[in-house]
């Protein structure tokens, strides 16, 4: 081979996995001037891709891992975009024999963060570096700029930084939605929280839609207008935008397509992992949990069909606010407009709670796993490219950066909770009346709003200096001698009472799960 030909075959990065996300990321890398060598287990896919989508680009095809590795510059960077779980471990073991010390394996799939932590350790023990990175934004994001959340071996970051930041989404001109997140599983953890929040945002939008549809009898076109309006204000986001567009989409017969879609939601597990982690760390992320469970309830379609015939409740129609109740007077139209604004406020306030809870969980995880998470930086990474991208995240960044939220005196304080930030608690105050009206009306009308109401319940619990857990502790001590602390004694002193007069004096050990 001539010197020139050899230089030409020196690729910057390899990518394994030619499903749509993989293909789009490769084309994105190529657009930014990187030479990518690609491989897929079914090698005919490589040939198809090179002959079609990649035609006329600098992308190189490889028919074996060995051939792929041989075409890479050192340290070699090999990115996998394959199904999470066992396929990732299998692929790592196939790649490793072809590597040299210091080479970097990258997992860009939705892997479980504990698997990533284990893989980092495994690869490092063999002298290689490992990056587990969240990549969000779906097909379009992968092609034109996703949000990228890398973590793993810190020494790998300088080698992948330029390429990752080049292909990522940009906000405020040229700020990349990609920064180093932290060690071991931190990148995939933050992506998992992103997905949990994504579940929450989607559920909130569905609840708003449900009240409009069943409580107000609004049709898809009317709701399309509402979401279009909402997208111009503080709810401006990708998910509101696509909801607006979904509501406008007609089926072949001219009727709204959304009305023909079966109401059973799927899920691939990242929402569930978020809830499991919250249980592990003892952090209430009640809204994301309700969002996951709501998908589970939706999947019980046959049971729900049967139950709908037997279990009775109030009529969902909100009298005086629907067209069908003969109320098109100016006064009633005003009332309806006000109610739709209340739905907006319920969604917005609940969304603030959801992000506050998500950040509480990240804070607890950072402590548990010894990560130094940059909370403002995470909001920035989520501002563009990803599924939860929104104007709102700009405000979260400001809150964590302290630029607007603290007086000069306390500017150095870390924000403990998003709800304590001046801007956000002001917003909650402004939306509270409408939020409570929606939760109360929905309860009276039998319209399920699990996420709106759990958010409100959390808000009321979180702002309570005193909760009824005194009684709960008494119950635990009564039946199991689990002991309690007293308000008139220092914390850490435990007491047991013989509640019945025939219990013993022995208390059970005091441990906290
Ligand atoms: C993203 C998404 C993506 C996720 C899908 C499907 O950030 O691009 O979060 O990673 O896999 O949205 O998730 P579910 O099937 O669990 O809804």
Distance 65 CA to ligand 1 centre (A): 28
What are the tens digits of pLDDT across the range 168-180?
999 999 999 999 9
- How would residue 322 be classed by pLDDT, with cut points 50, 70 and 90? confident
Distance 71 CA to ligand 1 centre (A): 32
Report the C-alpha gap between 423 and 229 in whole angstroms: 22
- How would residue 511 be classed by pLDDT, with cut points 50, 70 and 90? low
The CB of 94 under 6 Å from ligand 1? The reply is: no
Mean pLDDT computed over 340-347: 98
Task: List the end-to-end C-alpha distance of the chain, in Å, as a whole number.
Answer: 65
pLDDT of residue 409: 45
How many Å is the Cα radius of gyration of the chain?
A: 27
The CB of 32 under 6 Å from ligand 1? The reply is: no
Q: Are strands 147-152 and 129-136 parallel, antiparallel or unpaired?
A: antiparallel
Nearest atom within ligand 1 for CA of residue 386: 7
Whether 4 shows a pLDDT value over 70: the answer reads: no
The CB of 446 under 6 Å from ligand 1? The reply is: no
SS3 assignment, position 366 = helix
The CB of 137 under 6 Å from ligand 1? The reply is: yes
Phi/psi at 148 (5° precision): -125, 125
Beta bridge partners of 495: 484
Q: Whose CA is nearest to atom 7 of ligand 1?
A: 136
Report the C-alpha gap between 182 and 167 in whole angstroms: 20
Separation of CA 58 from chain center? 34
Where helices occur in 211-237 by DSSP H, the ranges are 220-230
Report the C-alpha gap between 292 and 300 in whole angstroms: 13
- How would residue 326 be classed by pLDDT, with cut points 50, 70 and 90? low
Q: Of 36-50, 111-125, 493-507, which range is least confident?
A: 493-507
- How would residue 400 be classed by pLDDT, with cut points 50, 70 and 90? very high
Distance 196 CA to ligand 1 centre (A): 9
The CB of 116 under 6 Å from ligand 1? The reply is: no
Report the C-alpha gap between 150 and 139 in whole angstroms: 19
Given a contact cutoff of 8 angstroms between Cβ atoms, the answer to whether 174 and 229 are in contact is no
Distance 467 CA to ligand 1 centre (A): 37
Distance 476 CA to ligand 1 centre (A): 41
Angle 204-434-237 (CA atoms, 0-180°, nearest 5)? 40
The sign of the dihedral angle between the CA atoms of 499, 502, 507, 511 is negative
CB atoms within 10 A of CB 503: 14
Spatial CA neighbour of 62 closest among 87, 43, 83, 84: 43
Burial bucket for residue 53 (CB in 10 Å: 0-12, 13-18, 19+): middle
Catalytic positions: 191, 198
pLDDT of residue 513: 62
Which residues make Cβ contacts (< 8 Å) with residue 387, sequence separation at least 6?
136, 137, 138, 141, 194, 198, 238, 239
- How would residue 7 be classed by pLDDT, with cut points 50, 70 and 90? very low
The CB of 203 under 6 Å from ligand 1? The reply is: no
pLDDT of residue 506: 79
The CB of 133 under 6 Å from ligand 1? The reply is: no
User: Which of 21, 107, 109, 110 gets mutated to test ligand 1 (max ligand atoms within 8 A of its CB)?
Assistant: 110
Mean pLDDT computed over 500-504: 85
Distance 288 CA to ligand 1 centre (A): 14
Nearest atom within ligand 1 for CA of residue 146: 8
Whether 9 shows a pLDDT value over 90: the answer reads: no
The CB of 450 under 6 Å from ligand 1? The reply is: no
The CB of 243 under 6 Å from ligand 1? The reply is: no
Nearest atom within ligand 1 for CA of residue 270: 16
Phi/psi at 485 (5° precision): -100, 160
The CB of 195 under 6 Å from ligand 1? The reply is: yes
Long-range (24+ apart) CB contacts under 8 A made by 274-278 are: 274/192, 274/193, 274/195, 274/196, 274/199, 274/361, 275/196, 277/189, 277/192, 277/361, 277/365, 278/361
Q: Whose CA is nearest to atom 2 of ligand 1?
A: 136
The CB of 136 under 6 Å from ligand 1? The reply is: yes
Nearest atom within ligand 1 for CA of residue 141: 8
- How would residue 404 be classed by pLDDT, with cut points 50, 70 and 90? very low
Q: Of 128-132, 185-189, 315-319, 396-400, which range is least confident?
A: 315-319
- How would residue 405 be classed by pLDDT, with cut points 50, 70 and 90? very low
DSSP codes joined into one string, 451-511:
HHHHHHHHHHHHT-S--THHHHHHHHHHHH---B--TTS-TT--B---SSSSS-SPPPP--
Characterize 281-306 residue by residue with b for buried, 16 or more Cβ atoms within 10 angstroms of its Cβ, and e for exposed: bebbbbbbbbbbbbbeebeeeeeeee
Distances (CA, A) of 304 to 263, 309, 344, 452: 11, 9, 28, 21
Given a contact cutoff of 8 angstroms between Cβ atoms, the answer to whether 451 and 291 are in contact is yes
SS3 assignment, position 307 = helix
Whether 349 shows a pLDDT value over 80: the answer reads: yes
Distance 135 CA to ligand 1 centre (A): 10
- How would residue 105 be classed by pLDDT, with cut points 50, 70 and 90? very high
Spatial CA neighbour of 394 closest among 383, 404, 405, 403: 383
Mean pLDDT computed over 423-429: 97
Instruction: Give kind and range of the element (H or E) at residue 129.
Output: strand 129-136
Q: Whose CA is nearest to atom 9 of ligand 1?
A: 195
User: Which of 24, 107, 387 gets mutated to test ligand 1 (max ligand atoms within 8 A of its CB)?
Assistant: 387
Whether 310 shows a pLDDT value over 70: the answer reads: yes
Distance 195 CA to ligand 1 centre (A): 6
What are the tens digits of pLDDT across the range 253-300?
999 999 999 999 999 999 999 999 999 999 999 999 999 999 999 999
Whether 413 shows a pLDDT value over 50: the answer reads: yes
- How would residue 2 be classed by pLDDT, with cut points 50, 70 and 90? very low
Whether 508 shows a pLDDT value over 90: the answer reads: no
SS3 assignment, position 4 = helix
Q: Of 4-18, 386-400, 452-466, which range is least confident?
A: 4-18
Nearest atom within ligand 1 for CA of residue 295: 17
Distance 267 CA to ligand 1 centre (A): 8
The CB of 198 under 6 Å from ligand 1? The reply is: yes
Distances (CA, A) of 356 to 150, 228, 350, 424: 23, 26, 10, 10
Name the token pair of 374. 């940059």
User: Which of 195, 288, 383, 384 gets mutated to test ligand 1 (max ligand atoms within 8 A of its CB)?
Assistant: 195
What are the tens digits of pLDDT across the range 200-244?
999 999 999 999 999 999 999 999 999 999 999 999 999 999 999
The CB of 286 under 6 Å from ligand 1? The reply is: no
Whether 142 shows a pLDDT value over 80: the answer reads: yes
> Average per-residue pLDDT in the chain?
94
Report the C-alpha gap between 400 and 338 in whole angstroms: 33
- How would residue 510 be classed by pLDDT, with cut points 50, 70 and 90? low
What share of the chain in percent tops pLDDT 90? 90
Where helices occur in 414-462 by DSSP H, the ranges are 422-445, 450-462
Q: Whose CA is nearest to atom 17 of ligand 1?
A: 267
pLDDT of residue 375: 96
The CB of 138 under 6 Å from ligand 1? The reply is: yes
pLDDT of residue 406: 39
């Amino acid at each position: 081979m001539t010197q020139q030909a050899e230089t030409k075959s020196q690729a910057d990065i390899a990518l394994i996995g030619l499903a749509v996300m993989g293909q789009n990321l490769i084309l994105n890398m190529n657009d930014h001037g990187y030479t990518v060598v690609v491989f897929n287990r079914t090698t005919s896919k490589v040939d198809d891709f090179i002959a079609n989508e990649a035609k006329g680009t600098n992308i190189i095809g490889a028919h074996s891992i060995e051939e792929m590795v041989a075409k890479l510059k050192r340290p070699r960077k090999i990115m996998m975009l394959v199904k999470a779980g066992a396929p990732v471990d299998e692929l790592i073991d196939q790649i490793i024999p072809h590597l040299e010390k210091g080479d970097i394996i990258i997992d860009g799939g939705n892997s479980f963060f504990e698997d990533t932590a284990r893989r980092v350790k495994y690869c490092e023990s063999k002298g290689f570096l490992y990056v587990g990175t969240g990549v969000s934004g779906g097909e379009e994001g992968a092609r034109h700029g996703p949000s990228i959340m890398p973590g793993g071996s810190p020494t790998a970051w300088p080698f992948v930084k330029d390429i990752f930041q080049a292909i990522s989404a940009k906000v405020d001109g040229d700020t990349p939605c990609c920064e180093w997140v932290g060690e071991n599983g931190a990148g995939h953890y933050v992506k998992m929280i992103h997905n949990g929040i994504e579940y929450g945002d989607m559920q909130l939008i569905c609840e708003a839609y449900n009240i409009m549809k069943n409580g107000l009898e609004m049709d898809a076109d009317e709701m399309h207008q509402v979401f279009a309006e909402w997208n111009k204000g503080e709810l401006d986001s990708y998910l509101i935008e696509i909801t607006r567009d979904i509501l406008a989409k007609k089926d072949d017969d001219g009727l709204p397509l959304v009305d023909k879609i079966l109401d059973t939601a799927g899920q691939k597990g990242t929402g569930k992992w978020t809830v499991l982690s919250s249980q592990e760390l003892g952090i209430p992320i009640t809204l994301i949990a309700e969002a996951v469970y709501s998908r589970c309830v939706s999947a019980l379609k046959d049971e729900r069909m049967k139950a709908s015939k037997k279990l009775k409740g109030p009529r969902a129609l909100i009298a005086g606010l629907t067209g069908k109740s003969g109320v098109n007077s100016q006064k009633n139209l005003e009332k309806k407009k006000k109610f739709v604004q209340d739905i907006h406020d319920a969604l917005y306030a609940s969304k603030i709670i959801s992000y506050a809870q998500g950040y509480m969980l990240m804070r607890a995880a950072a402590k548990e796993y010894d990560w130094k998470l940059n909370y403002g930086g995470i909001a920035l990474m989520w501002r563009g490219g990803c599924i939860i991208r929104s104007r709102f995240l700009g405000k979260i960044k400001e809150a964590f950066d302290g630029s607007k939220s603290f007086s000069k005196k306390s500017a150095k304080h870390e924000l403990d909770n998003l709800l304590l930030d001046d801007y956000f608690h002001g917003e909650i105050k402004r939306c509270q009346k409408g939020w409570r009206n929606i939760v109360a009306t929905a309860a009276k009308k039998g319209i399920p709003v699990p996420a709106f109401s759990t958010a409100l319940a959390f808000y009321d619990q979180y702002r309570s200096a005193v909760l009824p857990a005194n009684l709960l502790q008494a119950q635990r001590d009564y039946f199991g001698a689990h002991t309690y602390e007293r308000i008139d004694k220092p914390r850490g002193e435990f007491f047991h009472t013989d509640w019945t007069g025939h219990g013993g004096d022995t208390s059970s050990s005091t441990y906290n799960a």
